[in-house]
Amino acid sequence: MVKAVDKTKVPWWVSNAIVPLVNLTLAFIVSGFFIFVAGENPYQALKLIIYGSFGYLEGFGYTLYYATNFIFTGLAFAIAFHCRLFNIGGEGQAYIGGLGVFLLAFYFSALPVPIVWLLAILASMLFGAAWAIIPGYLQAYRGSHVVITTIMFNFIASALMVFLLVDVIRDRRQMGPTTEALVKEQWLPMFKNIAAFFGFKVGYSPLNISFLLAIIVSFGVWFLIWRTKWGYEMRAVGHNTQAAIYAGISPKKNIILAMVISGALAGMLGVNEVLGVHHKILVNFPAGYGFTGIAVALMGRNHPIGIFLASLLFGMLYQGGSEVTFDMPNITRYMFVAVQGVIILFSGALENLFRPQIEHFFVNIMKRKVTT
Amino acid sequence: MEISADIISLASATLRISTPLVFAAMAGLFAERSGVIDFGLEGKMLAAAFVAASGAHVFGSEWYGLGLAIVCCVALSMLHGFASVTHKGDQVVSCVAINILMIGLTTALAAAWFGQQGLTPTLTDDRRFFEITLPFADAVSGVPLLGPIYSEIISGHYIFVYLAYILVPCVYWVVFKTSFGLRLRAVGENPSAVDTAGIGVELMRYKALAVNGVLIAFAGAYLSTAINANFFREMSAGRGYLALAALIFGKWKPKTALIACLLFGFTDALQIRLQGVPLPGIGIVPVQFIQAIPYVLTVVLLAGFVGKAIAPSAIGQPYIKER
Amino acid sequence: MVSQPILELQNINKSFGHVQANKDISLKVIKGDIHGIIGENGAGKSTLMSIVYGFYQADSGNIKINDKIIKIKSPHESILSGIGMVHQHFMLVENFTVIENIILGFEGELVFGEKLSRAKENLMKLCEDYNLKIDLNATISDLSVGFRQRVEILKALYRGAEILILDEPTGVLTPQEVDELFKILRSLKEQGKTIILITHKLNEIMILTDKVTVMRQGEIVGDKNTKDTTKDQLAEMMVGRSVLLRIDKKKPNIGETVFEVKNINVKDNLDVMRVKNVSFNLRKGEILGIAGVTGNGQTELLEALTGICQVDSGEIKLYGNTISSKKVFAGPRQLREQDVAHVPEDRQRMGLVTEFNASENLIFGYHHQQPFSKSSVMMGKNIFNHSKKVMRDYDVRPQSPFLLTSNFSGGNQQKIILSRELNKDPKVLLVGQPTRGVDIGAIEFIHQRIIDMRDKGAAVLLVSVELDEILSLADRIVVMFDGELVGERVNENVTDREIGLLMAGITN
């Protein structure tokens, strides 16, 4: 048994950098084992992942494109988590957010393009928030556990969107259920075009300026959580609801607020996917980004900086992962869903597995430095 | 008096469809009554389905498949226990991790091992469970009213179905009429009381999780080796969450949870029969709306009743001795 | 014949992190004695007994029962060795019956049914033998505190306890229930049981015990026959210096009425009526002390006054305006805006967010006001300056605004709350258990601050279960018993005994 350590002596970088890194390494080792069990060489897979995600410019573009989505869904989960709410509904909220983006861009195409973009961003937030407000309300006023209700809303969103895509807003000229495409003027500038503007020839990748939007939004979320009254109150409710009531803070209002903002953030994923990449709604375009957001938030310890780094990591896994699935017939993209699960396990549920030993190690090293 | 064929098939389907929910709800009951949140029923059910189908295929018998599924689910429950009980981690996060891990791993391994995009090979008849005709079913089928009830609604199900309905009173008996059940409920309400009686709180929770693992394995095995003849990706389709909703709706009691499971089963059975069928006054309801009914119903149930349903007091909180 | 020690502790040491709770403790308890262990909060008494009961393991040292060394690794071994413990916070399952709670862990067999009735028979015999009347089929949640304690005692006896340890048993009892308990303990002693009584109340030691051991800061500082010592001697050993229990204060300068409470009834969150038809006034410049044993409605009364819960009927008026009635409900925020400050009874559960740092807690409840926040943006510099100032003024240690509140000691956490609530010179101060879990030095400081407030003209309502605190600070005293206000006295020449009787519900 490791002797307990005086918590105040543990340097911040041990808790917030070393421990997560150790957890991540463990997750990778376990994932490597799964890859091995599936019949492939984990080391080879790792090399492919690194090459695919950073080895060439277009691949890096893909990595950042994925990261954009994860930043949105990661921030979404994190902000709800600060209020002690588990918003598992990022998938559905992103899906409906995308619907908002499309409807606005398509039916208001007469407006000047920058206005359309702004309104589309707002629409994504509004629609995403609308999908989260009911679970939020039910948790606040009826005590219904938000985990179950948001998961149910994911299924309902799926059903609703399929219905709309098949019967209502469908492009009849196409075979599959998708909407019509948005006109080219409305497409968000892609990295490829921006580079071309500056004279660089760059291959295709889905990376577009919504990546910058994601970064701006990250700042906004940081500011909201730690520098505003709303963030202060949400955190108070999340840590100690009784005390929040004592302080005149309304738990019900803050639960709903947290869910609404969370839904809005997830909804912004629609800006990237619909306005930036596909320019139409594809069936199931959230494709698991909502769930990855959970892993990203937990790994990033619910802080925008951590979320940004974790998003890069997962972007790397996704892009590198598709390189792997291309080259290794025995590995499908589902393996990387499994990897996510392992990461959530080690960064979330088992995050304190080796913390006592790590803290003990660092506090003792500090002690020795002082005495010698 | 004749019972219409519709009602017969609906009743029979209800029993068939609610079976995995019943196993899952009972599994959840043991875990949650001991104070451990189990949102991971979905992932474990999926894992069981995969392991049962693969095992049945590889080892040539559905019973092997079931056995392996039990081992697998107990292992997963132990993992959840390790994370939440021993390491005092967040129980919801642990469940979410297991769910996502299983969604990915089951399909990934299925694709890697059997090469069919995430399907396990279709089981041949000798490696599947089959419907059982109860004794005298044919002889009795002519008897008015009771005959068809016996021969067509009650008889002719997989063994799992009968097991599920025998299970419920057994669970009731264990939880409310034995000393194990007394301790189980005590651990979920006031773990300190159990600790000061000299009984290990953590051990008790691990035992509950072991039972949880066994029961949920039946749910998953049923899906892939009885009603279907293989595993396909994400085949649990939210049943783990529906079972949890049924458990909450049933206030963590076996009998009422069973009724909730039957209700969900009925809705699902109804939904299949309503697809494409014009309803009076409404016309044809889009198929997706009907498919969404169980999920909407879950939300409605949770909204209406959870406020009054009181969970075991110590649920979700790791047991830490106070200083 | 020399009496044999039934329990002997040899050189017990126990540390939690860098805090040494028990230092080299050696102790003998004679069979058939009622042995008291006395000390202040934090002296180490509960830790020591928790080790005997197997809840914790000692870092070093031995436990001997009937002269044999026993390794106690968990409550299981101690129960087998004949040790039973009645904890300060009862270890009962609320929705089980009495009999279910008692047999938990000692069911005797796997299945219930008719075998349960055998357990019932045995239990009823026990009840008769020890004169402990109780309804075995009652559900715990329906029982009063006194009866719950009986269940705990029965539980220990059913498990075969020869040594019964009671940890602060009278904290939640009325004086009447305390008398009943003492009768039971004496009867147990007559039947040959050994009793260890942990308490911080001198009266109990003098009345009940044969021997007394005094602990201070983890060590034993005295071990005497009770008849050979006095209260004053024990008190001095407990704190290491003569304790000044009364503060010098000026006569109160009483002004207008601030709070008018008229016939209020308040329910708790389980819908049980906890405050019954209470009326009183609170005036400027006075300290009104509400005395009473925990659980007589004081908590609910405070919550109604501070806007945390609404009254079921009746009316509360502040400065002449209704703030709580069946139709009106002003919440804590509105009350703070009216200069009503609230120091809650339970600082960790209610008064602080321990995960916040000190500066965030120092504005808790006032965070939305200027200068801490402007248009919903938190003004970091103002918050920091505020923290520095109040931490200095109230001697909060360490003076680190960014340190996590959980790292401060109980006394300093209480000072954080006090400095926050008192900083704006509130017109009304509602305070509950201000010195619970606080060390002596901080107690004097806190008491002085409260008196200062009153001298500046604030109206102060003090709720406390420590009679000494009430007698020391209050100008006027009312007592709560079973949800009602029984008896009001001006605090001149009032005795403990007088108030104690009122606390027991005895009014003449």
Whether residue C487 is contained in a domain is answered as: yes
| The pLDDT of residue C1 is above 80 | no
Count other Cβ atoms within 10 Å, centred on residue C381.
Answer: 8
pLDDT at C109 over 70: no
Residue C430's H or E segment, with its range, is strand C428-432
Pair C283, C427 in one domain: yes
**pLDDT of res. C119:** 79
Per 3-state DSSP, chain A is made up of helix, strand and coil in percentages (nearest 5) of 75, 0, 25
For the residues B151-155, what does the mean pLDDT come to?
Answer: 76
> Chain C contacts of A240, Cβ < 8 Å?
349, 352-355
Q: C91: nearest CA in chain B? A: B193
CB pairs under 8 A between A and C: 73
How are the residues of chain B apportioned to helix, strand and coil, as percentages rounded to the nearest 5?
70, 0, 30
State how far residue A3 is from chain C, nearest Cα, in angstroms: 8
Give the pLDDT of residue B66.
94
Q: What is the pLDDT of residues B99-149, one digit of tens each?
A: 999 999 999 999 888 887 778 888 887 778 888 877 777 777 777 777 777
Interface of B with A in 35-94 (CB under 8 A): 39, 82-84, 87-94
Domain presence at residue A203 = yes
Q: Is residue C247 part of a domain?
A: no
d(CA C447, CA C433): 11
Q: At what angle do helices A355-371 and A19-37 cross, to 10 degrees?
A: 140
Neighbours of A199 (CB within 10 A): 6
Domain assignment present for residue A341? The answer is no
Asked whether C98 and C137 are in contact (CB, 8 A), the reply is yes
Which of C210, C239, C268 represents a domain boundary (last residue)? C239
A332 → closest Cβ in B108, B241, B303: B108
Give, in degrees to the nearest 5, the angle at Cα B244 between B241 and B249.
125
Cβ of B98 and A352 within 8 Å?
Answer: no
Within a domain: A39: no
Distance CA A263, CA C496 (A): 60
Question: Is residue C73, in this structure, part of any structural domain at all?
Answer: yes
Distances (CA, A) of A369 to A363, A364, C45: 10, 9, 38
Percent of chain C with pLDDT over 90: 43
| Cβ–Cβ under 8 Å, residues A305 and A12 | no
Nearest to A228 among C350, C376, C407 (CB): C376
Give the CA diameter of chain A.
78
B321 in a structural domain: no
**For residue C127, what are its two tokens?**
């009840």
Q: Tell whether the model's pLDDT for residue C174 goes beyond 80.
A: no
Question: Which pair of tokens denotes residue C235?
Answer: 């008190």
Confidence (pLDDT) at B1: 46
Other residues' Cβ atoms within 10 Å of the Cβ of residue A186: 18
A6 in contact with C at a CB cutoff of 8 Å? Answer: yes
CA distance C54 to chain B (A): 9
Cα angle for residues A354, A356, A360 (degrees, 5° grid): 120
Beta carbons of C398 and C405 less than 8 angstroms apart: no
Closest CA to B28 of B268, B219, B226, B231: B219
User: What is residue C146's predicted lDDT score, i.e. its pLDDT?
Assistant: 84
Residue at A362 is within a domain: no
Edge-to-edge strand list for the sheet holding C257-267: C273-283, C257-267, C313-318, C321-324
Question: Do the domain assignments include residue B222?
Answer: yes
What is the maximum alpha-carbon separation in chain B? 71
Q: Give how far Cα A117 sits from Cα of A94, A260, A268, Å.
A: 17, 21, 12
- From the list A236, A240, A248, which residue is nearest C333 (CB)? A248
**Cross-chain CB nearest to C109 (options B179, B183, B194):** B179
- Domain span at residue A96 reads 68-302
Looking at the whole model, is its pTM more than 0.95?
no
The reply to whether residue C93 touches residue B185, judged by beta carbons under 8 angstroms, is yes
Q: What is the reported pLDDT for A6?
A: 64
What distance in Å separates the CA atoms of residue C427 and residue C457, rounded to the nearest whole number? Answer: 7
The domain of C278 spans 257-503
Asked if A301 and A203 count as a contact pair (C-beta separation under 8 A), the reply is no
> Does the beta-carbon distance from B189 to C109 stay under 8 Å?
no
Does residue C60 form part of some domain? yes
Statement to judge: residues C225 and C291 lie in one domain: no
Q: Which residues of C touch B182 (CB under 8 A)?
A: 96, 100, 103-104, 107, 112
The answer to whether A246 contacts C331, with C-beta atoms less than 8 Å apart, is no
Range of the domain at B173: 5-134+145-305
Q: What is the pLDDT of residue C242?
A: 42
CB-based contact C46:C21 (threshold 8 Å):
no
C91 and B190 within 8 Å at the Cβ level: the answer is: yes
**Yes or no, beta carbons of B105 and A338 under 8 Å apart:** yes
Res A1: pLDDT:
47
- Whole-angstrom Cα distance, residue C277 to residue B168? 49
pLDDT-derived band at C317 (thresholds 50, 70, 90) equals very high
Query: Is C40 a domain residue?
Result: yes
B79 pLDDT above the threshold of 70: yes
Q: Please report which helix (H) or strand (E) contains residue C165, including its range.
A: strand C163-167
Please answer yes or no on whether B307 and A294 come within 8 Å at the CB atom. no
Whether chain A has a CB inside 8 Å of the CB on B120: the answer is: no
In angstroms, the CA C502 to CA A214 distance is 66
**pLDDT tier at B282 (50, 70, 90 boundaries)?**
low
Does residue C428 register a pLDDT over 90? yes
Nearest by CB to B302, from A144, A338, A345: name it. A144
Assign C260 to helix, strand or coil.
strand
Q: Is the pLDDT of residue C244 over 60?
A: no
Residue type, B206: Y
- Residue A371 has what pLDDT? 59
Copy the structure tokens of residue C36.
Answer: 């008291």
Residue C462 has pLDDT above 80, yes or no: yes
Whether C264 maps to a domain, the answer reads yes
C315 pLDDT band, cuts 50/70/90, is very high
Higher pLDDT, A259 or C408: A259
Neighbour count for residue C312 (Cβ, 10 Å): 17
How much is the mean pLDDT over chain B? 86
CB contact under 8 A, B102 and A341: yes
Contacts of B94 in chain A (CB under 8 A): 345, 348-350
Q: So what's the pLDDT on residue C133? A: 83
Q: Which DSSP helix (H) or strand (E) runs through C317? A: strand C313-318
A 215-244 residues with CB < 8 A to B: none
Note whether residue B315 is domain-resident.
Answer: no
CA distance B231 to chain A (A): 15
Cβ atoms of C243 and C235 within 8 Å: the answer is yes
pLDDT for the residue C500: 67
**Which of B100, B113, B291 comes nearest A344 by C-beta?**
B100
What is the mean predicted confidence (pLDDT) over C79-86?
92
Looking at the structure of chain B, the number of domains it has is 1
- Closest among C116, C191, C115 to C153, alpha carbons compared: C191
Distance in angstroms between the alpha carbons of the first and the last residue of chain C: 50
Residue A36 contacts B where some CB pair is shorter than 8 Å: no
Question: Is residue B295 one of the residues assigned to a domain?
Answer: yes
C-alpha neighbours within 13 Å on the C-beta side of residue C296: 26
Nearest to C156, CA basis, from C199, C113, C194, C202 = C194
Mean pLDDT rounded to a whole number for chain C? 86
Task: Write out chain C residues lying below 8 Å of A228, CB-based.
Answer: 373, 376-378
Residue C367 lies in a domain: yes
Q: Which of residues 167-186 of A touch B (CB under 8 A)?
A: 167
| Cα separation, C77 vs C79, whole angstroms | 5
Chain A contact for B118 (CB, 8 A cutoff)? yes
Neighbouring residues of C190: CB distance < 8 A, sequence distance ≥ 6: none
Q: Does A367 touch chain C (CB under 8 A)?
A: no
> What pLDDT is attached to residue A14?
79
* Structural domain count, chain A: 1
Query: What pLDDT score does A369 carry?
Result: 63
Supply the pLDDT for residue A3: 55
Closest Cα of chain B to C86: distance in Å? 10
> Is A12 near chain C, with CB under 8 Å?
no
**The CATH number of the domain where C410 resides is what?**
3.40.50.300
Distance from CA of C172 to the nearest CA of A (A): 23
What span, in angstroms and rounded, lies between the C-alpha atoms of B91 and B97?
10
Predicted confidence pLDDT, tens digits, chain A (372 residues): 455 566 666 777 777 788 888 888 999 999 999 999 888 898 988 898 888 888 888 888 999 999 999 999 999 999 999 999 999 999 999 999 999 999 999 989 888 989 999 999 999 999 999 999 999 999 999 888 898 899 999 999 999 999 898 888 877 777 778 888 888 888 888 888 888 888 877 788 889 999 999 999 999 999 999 999 999 999 999 999 999 999 999 999 999 999 999 999 999 999 999 999 998 898 889 988 998 899 899 888 899 999 999 999 999 988 988 888 888 888 888 888 899 899 889 988 888 888 888 888 887 776 666 655
Sort A110 into a burial class: Cβ within 10 Å, 0-12 / 13-18 / 19+: exposed
Best of B288, B291, B296, B317 to mutate (most A CBs within 10 Å, chain A): B288
For chain A, the chains sharing at least 3 beta-carbon pairs closer than 8 angstroms are B, C
C57 and C184 within one domain: yes
Model confidence over B299-323: pLDDT tens digits? 888 887 644 556 787 787 777 765 4
Residue A19 forms contact with B (CB below 8 Å): no
> Does residue A34 sit within a domain?
no
Query: Cis link prior to B280 (omega < 30° from 0)?
Result: no
Residues on C contacting B at a C-beta cutoff of 8 Å: 16, 53-56, 74-79, 85, 87, 89, 91-96, 100-101, 103-107, 109-113, 159
Q: Which of B178, B189, B199 sits opposite C110 (nearest CB)?
A: B178
For residue C76, the cross-strand partners are none
Mutate to test the interface with C, among B195, B196, B252, B319 (most CBs of C within 10 A): B196
Residue C39 · residue C202 · CB < 8 Å: no
C246 occurs within a structural domain: no
Single out the residue of B292, B310, B291, B288 nearest to residue B300, CA to CA: B292
Q: Specify whether C183 is located in the same domain as C314.
A: no
> At A230, is the secondary structure helix, strand, or coil?
helix
For residues C328-333, average pLDDT: 90
| Distances A126 to A100, A113, A141, A149 between C-alpha atoms, Å | 8, 19, 22, 19
Across the interface, do C377 and A229 touch by the CB < 8 Å criterion? yes
Which pLDDT score, from 0 to 100, does residue C241 have? 47
Picking from C18, C355, C376, the nearest residue to A239 by CB comes out as C355
Predicted confidence band of residue C112 (pLDDT cuts 50, 70, 90): low
The token pair that represents C302 in the structure block:
């405070």
Residues C285, C210 share a domain: no
Q: Whole-angstrom Cα distance, residue A205 to residue A69?
A: 14
Are residue C169 and residue C315 in the same domain, yes or no?
no
Q: How much is the pLDDT for B135?
A: 76
